[in-house]
Amino acid sequence: MEQKFEIVHKDDHILMKRDIRPIVNWLEFMDRWEKAQTYEELLGLLHKGFTINDSSCYSDRLVFYFNVADGWSDGKGLRTKPGEFKGFYQILDKNGETTPKDKQYLRLDLANKAFEMLCTNFFKFSENLKIHLRLCSAGARLSWWREKIINSCLFLTILNFFFTIDEDGAIVVSSNLKKVNDSYNGKFILEFIIAFTTILFEWEKRDFSCLKGESDSYMRQVEEYVSVTNDRVNLAKPLMIQILCSLNEINFLKKLVPKFDQSCIDKLTEIALKSKLNPLNHFVKKERKVRTIDEACYVGSTAAWLVKEFLLYKRISTNGKE
C-alpha cells in the first residue's frame, strides 16, 4: 500500500510555552546552585556561569569556580565518605553506552568542568586583554595585576589552589597542577603562572614623593595599602619559584636569577635539600637526603643549580663594582 505523507498543522513551538530568560545576576546563580538537586543541573550551571552579565561579581565568581575545581586532577577531597551511598547510577556516555557511575565520579566530573571553565575564562587571557597588557604602559600593567589579583580576595584563593599542606606540615605544590605539562588546558595555567611571576619580580616599592602635600590620613591609607601589596608580593615570589621548579621551567627561572632575594634563595635551598642520594646512581651505601647544595647539584637538582647560579652572579656583579 502506497504511503502518503501529510503535513500536520503545528501548534506553537514547544519553547513558546515557556517564559525563558537568562539568569540576571550572580546572586540568582548562587541561589539556583544551592537549590539544584541533580548532577545535570549543576553541570549546566557551571557551563554557563561565566556568561552571566554581572560586573560586580568578578572576584566572587572566580573564587566560586576555584573552590569547585579544587581536586579536579586526583579527586582529593571528593572521594566517597563513610556512610555515604556507595551504589552506582546508570548514565549514558558520549557513545550512547550505559556506564555505572558513583557519587565520587559525579563530583570529580563537576570539578573537571569548573577547571575547564577557569582555563577558558580566566587562565587563558582573551586576545583583547593580551593586546591591552602588551600595549599599555608598565605602570598600567602593574595596576591591572594589583587590582584584579594581588589586592583582591583572589590572591589567597589562587595560592590555595596551587598549594597544599603535606602530612609533615610543609607547603607543597598541589595536585591541581599535576597535569599542567601534559594537558591542553595546562598550558594556559603555565602561561598565567609565568605572567604572574614576571609581574611579581617587576614589582618595586612605591615612591611617595609625588603625594607630597596630601593629608596625613590619606597618606596613612596609601601607605597601609602599599604595605599590604608589598607583603603579598614578598609572600608569593618564593612560592611561585617553587611551582616553576616543580614544573621544571628552568629557562624562565634563569632569567629571574638577578632579581632573586633572600626569600627566593631560602626556598630554592629548601627544595634542593630534599633531594636524595641512592646506592644505584650515587656513591653511597644506602639512600639518604643530600647534606649540601653541592650534593644536590650532583643529584641534578634544578633548585640547587639556581642557587649556584645566583651566588656566581652575585660574586661577578660585586667584583664588577670594585
**What CA–CA distance (Å, rounded) separates 50 from 42?**
14
Look-up of cell digits 590619606: 218
Work out the percent of the chain whose per-residue pLDDT is above 90.
48
Query: What are the tens digits of pLDDT across the range 133-182?
Result: 777 777 777 788 888 888 888 999 999 999 998 888 888 999 999 888 77
CB-based contacts of 278: which residues, under 8 Å, 6+ apart? 284, 287
> 37-46, 84-93, 247-256 — which is least confidently predicted?
84-93
The reported pLDDT for the residue numbered 1 is: 63
Q: Burial level of 270, CB count in 10 A (0-12/13-18/19+)? A: middle
Per-residue pLDDT at 211 exceeds 60:
no
Three-state DSSP at 212 gives coil
The reported pLDDT for the residue numbered 213 is: 60
* Residue 85 CB neighbours (<10 A): 10
Per-residue pLDDT at 308 exceeds 80:
yes
Query: What are the tens digits of pLDDT across the range 127-139?
Result: 667 776 777 777 7
